[in-house]
Amino acid sequence: MPAPTLPGITSKMVQTPRINTHVLLHGSEDGIPVVFIHGNFSASTYWEETMLAMPDGYFSIAPDLRGYGDTEDLIIDATRGAHDWTDDLKALSDVFGERPAHLVGWSLGAGVAMQFLLDYPELVTSLTLVSPISPYGFNGTKGEQGDPCHNNFAGSGGGVVNPEFIRRINEGDRSADDPNSPRNVINTFYYKPPFRAAREEEYLTAALLQKTGDDRYPGDLKPCDNWPNVAPGQYGPINATSPKFFNASGIVNSAHKPPILWVRGDSDQIVADLSMFDMGALGQLELVPGWPGADVFPPQPMVSQMRAVLEQYKENGGDYKEVVVVDTAHSPHIEKPEVFNQAFHAHLEQA
């Protein structure tokens, strides 16, 4: 069942040649399209307040990505990186008239937005990257240039996700009695405590629609000799965003360079230069045994990698603006909506 929507938001299933996609809509369909792309363990629900705050003249579209929410449950071929998602979005764009749109991506969704720019540049008016994953993927790289820690990209992919967290998703756990409960993970890492979202229950309901399994979330794995002894498999969203299959740093050479707004919280523990979801960081903090040291597997400098790519994007003729929201973690559009919307709306008007 879909999570309840706010007044003014329309929930709709849209059949495309690729996949039956659940979308949330707001505004007149003849307005300027703005496509909101959610992150991992979430869904389009997390964008509703942002959509309702949009100025007149825009048409907001927030799909549930393949593998999430109420969109048709089809396999993600991780060996294609983010291309299953970008091709799904292109098919959705065709239904709505294939018009250029402003893309807004949060976390994993920002990776999808960057890949969409590479795949379908003519359809991108601007990019807004909210707490984006590194252009070099999540886990398994080092240095600002995204060099792999191991040639087989061990330490990234589906095998590094906490199995207790997956078990609790499978059970639809809504408790708050354990750090691994979905509710506690959201409240501890999506936001900077003691912040609690007004729509906590709806957000949890939407996140728990995540499709799970070795061929869904988090995906399969390959045992290996390189620490931490798991390498990416070939299915699911976490393998799809492994640097083995995902690399969007090519945006620096895109012939079409729309303006980019990069918004992040200063207290983000998910996407950071010392992320609590990064194997290098966890090894350095002695939370995962056997760490081979910083020479082999340092913490992935996710923020520094993003900035280095955007600086090169700028040197090559593009333009970007970085906005750091204070006392905010991974979800500035939810934690500090007034600050986020001020920067976001100005970006849209100037694009």
Cα gap 111→129, rounded to integer Å: 8
The answer, yes or no, to whether residue 3 has pLDDT greater than 90, is no
The answer, yes or no, to whether residue 2 has pLDDT greater than 70, is no
Residue 85 identity (one-letter amino acid): W
Three-class HEC string of 186-245: HHHHHCCCCCCCCCHHHHHHHHCCCCEECCCEECCEEECCCCCCEEECCECHHHHCCCCC
How high does pLDDT run on average in the chain? Answer: 97
pLDDT digits (tens, 9 = 90+) for 71-86: 999 999 999 999 999 9
Residue 197 identity (one-letter amino acid): A
Q: Return the SS3 of 155.
A: coil
Q: How confident is the model at residue 98 (pLDDT cuts 50, 70, 90)?
A: confident
The answer, yes or no, to whether residue 249 has pLDDT greater than 90, is yes
pLDDT digits (tens, 9 = 90+) for 56-70: 999 999 999 999 999
Question: Beta strand 260-265 with 320-325: parallel, antiparallel or unpaired?
Answer: parallel
CB 77 within 8 A of CB 234: yes
Residue that has been written with the tokens 């597997």 in this structure: 297
- pLDDT at site 184: 98
Domains and CATH numbers, the chain: 10-147+244-350 (3.40.50.1820)
